């Protein structure tokens, strides 16, 4: 199946103050980088144009490198291409969701970003640092939570964390604070061998947060957690985003990804099949919202009235309930049509196109 190439990344609008060459009045110009803007001076009516700079200049500071850049990543295991020519970018300060079915190559990609596995081809940079040539330096910018979180069973939670903290030159007090933060304050002096999976996972979050890294790589962070743990992880991710941390998160819990991610990348059979915001992906696939309307008494007139509306794709009637798939702009028309046809609406539910649908469509065989 052919998928359209990812849309051009959204460019940030640029605003510049320019001076009228004749009367020196300051005029604010807004547009995309590189765009030619025609201006008429509001003071002297002098006409002219201004080309906005391609590289956004913020108070003399040049643009910073992206948090993670992956270009043409390929990894083979005995002639099997686990990851095939993968390219994507995680921008500074964004939450990037990485989705894909089991065995699609998510963990392989994450491990390649950290240079834990050696890629056959491709270029990976973390904050502009090449991980293959300057691995140690690049990894200092990253907090990593592996899919399979493991610690040393014979050591206590605090001893474990302190060991990792020593490598990052993080203080002992910070370890105690992090342990409290993930809700393990009471069991900090217990051996990790006696911990439940959820507790180990929480300790994993604390370990990834050591030294406040500007980039976080989280591989299935909610896996094996109870609902309280899932909320803790979500809050933690949102909290990190507020602090300006760039987050790359792979997850199976699509609703969670939809809720927190700025953009998502979908990987299937080692290839990146989509990369954009959830809304934009939904639009690309022409996914439409579904309205479920329950009326007091169903009549053939109501069904007919709805079906007559242009841009209504599909209508199903089950008892007193109508399930309507229609264009987003037609939702109000549908409701009005039901009322006009004599239907008394007793319940109304709207379902926007979900990431699940996007995911299913992009990863179908």
Partner 1 sequence: MKTDTVISIAKKEIMDNIRNKWIILVSIMFAVLTLVVSYFGSIMSHGWQNLGNTIGGMTSFASFLISIIAFMLGYATIIGEIERGSMSALLSLSATRFEIVMGKFLGLGSVLCFTVLVGFGAAGIVIGVNVSNVDYLQYLAFIGITMVFGLVFLSVALFFSTVFSKRSTALGGTIFLWFLFNIILPIVFFGLLLTTIDITTITPESTLTVPLWYYILELFNPISVYSALIGVTIGPVSSSTGAGIIPNPSWYSPGLLLGVLIIWILVFFILAAWRFNRKDV
- Which residues of this protein are in contact with partner 1, per CB under 8 A? 111, 114, 116-118, 135-137, 139-140, 142-144, 146-152, 154-155, 159, 163-164, 166-168, 204, 207, 210, 217
Question: 153: phi > 0 → left, psi -120 to 50 → alpha, else beta; which?
Answer: alpha
Q: Nearest approach, Cβ of 144 to partner 1 (angstroms)? A: 4
Question: What is the CB-side half-sphere exposure of residue 46 using CA atoms within 13 A?
Answer: 14
Which 3 state secondary structure label does DSSP give 266?
Answer: strand
Q: Nearest approach, Cβ of 192 to partner 1 (angstroms)? A: 10
**Measured from the CB atom, is 3 or 164 closer to partner 1?**
164
Q: Nearest approach, Cβ of 164 to partner 1 (angstroms)? A: 5
**Measured from the CB atom, is 106 or 263 closer to partner 1?**
106
Cβ partners under 8 Å of residue 172, min gap 6:
162, 165
**Measured from the CB atom, is 161 or 315 closer to partner 1?**
161
**Measured from the CB atom, is 147 or 262 closer to partner 1?**
147
Give the whole-angstrom CA distance, residue 231 versus residue 256.
Answer: 10
Q: Nearest approach, Cβ of 78 to partner 1 (angstroms)? A: 12
By the 8 A CB rule, do 84 and 91 touch? no
**Measured from the CB atom, is 91 or 168 closer to partner 1?**
168
Angle formed by the axes of helices 197-208 and 172-181, nearest 10°: 130
**Measured from the CB atom, is 142 or 254 closer to partner 1?**
142
Give the whole-angstrom CA distance, residue 135 versus residue 13.
Answer: 34
Q: Nearest approach, Cβ of 93 to partner 1 (angstroms)? A: 21
Give the closest residue to 9 by CA, choosing from 284, 263, 273.
263
Give the whole-angstrom CA distance, residue 184 versus residue 12.
Answer: 42
Q: Nearest approach, Cβ of 142 to partner 1 (angstroms)? A: 6
List C-alpha distances in Å: 10 to 7, 32, 33, 228, 266.
Answer: 8, 10, 11, 35, 18
By the 8 A CB rule, do 270 and 81 touch? yes
DSSP symbols for 100-116? --TTSSHHHHHHHHTTS
Q: Nearest approach, Cβ of 140 to partner 1 (angstroms)? A: 5
Give the whole-angstrom CA distance, residue 353 versus residue 279.
Answer: 8
**Measured from the CB atom, is 90 or 217 closer to partner 1?**
217
Give the tokens for residue 353.
Answer: 């196109």
**Measured from the CB atom, is 146 or 353 closer to partner 1?**
146
């Amino acid at each position: 199946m052919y998928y359209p190439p990812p849309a051009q990344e959204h460019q940030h609008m640029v605003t510049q103050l320019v001076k009228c060459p004749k009367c020196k009045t300051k005029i604010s110009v807004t547009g995309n980088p590189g765009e030619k803007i025609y201006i008429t001076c509001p003071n002297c009516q002098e006409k002219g144009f201004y080309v906005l700079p391609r590289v956004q200049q913020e108070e003399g500071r040049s643009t910073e490198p992206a948090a993670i850049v992956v270009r043409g990543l390929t990894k083979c295991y005995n002639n099997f291409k686990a990851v095939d020519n993968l390219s994507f970018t995680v921008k500074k300060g964004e939450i990037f969701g990485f989705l894909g079915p089991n065995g699609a190559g998510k963990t392989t990609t994450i491990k390649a970003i950290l240079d834990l596995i050696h890629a056959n081809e491709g270029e990976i940079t973390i904050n502009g640092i090449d991980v293959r040539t300057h691995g140690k330096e690049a990894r200092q910018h990253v907090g990593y939570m592996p899919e399979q979180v493991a610690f040393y069973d014979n050591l206590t939670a605090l001893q474990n964390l302190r060991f990792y903290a020593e490598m990052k030159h993080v203080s002992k007090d910070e370890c105690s604070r992090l342990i409290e933060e993930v809700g393990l304050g009471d069991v900090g002096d217990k051996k990790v061998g006696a911990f439940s999976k959820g507790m180990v996972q929480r300790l994993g979050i604390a370990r990834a947060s050591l030294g406040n890294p500007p980039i976080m790589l989280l591989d299935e962070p909610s896996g094996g957690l109870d609902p309280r743990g899932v909320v803790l992880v979500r809050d933690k991710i949102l909290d990190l985003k507020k602090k300006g941390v760039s987050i790359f998160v792979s997850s199976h819990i699509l609703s969670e990804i939809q809720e927190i991610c700025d953009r998502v990348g979908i990987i299937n059979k080692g290839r990146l099949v989509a990369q954009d915001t959830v809304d934009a992906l939904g639009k690309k696939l022409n996914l439409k919202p579904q309205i479920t309307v329950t009326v007091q008494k169903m009549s053939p007139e109501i069904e007919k009235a709805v079906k007559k509306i242009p841009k209504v794709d599909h209508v199903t009637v089950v008892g007193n309930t109508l399930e309507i798939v229609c264009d987003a702009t037609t939702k109000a028309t549908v409701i009005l049509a039901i009322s006009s046809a004599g239907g008394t609406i007793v319940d109304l539910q709207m379902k926007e196109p979900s990431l699940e649908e996007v995911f299913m469509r992009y990863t179908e065989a």
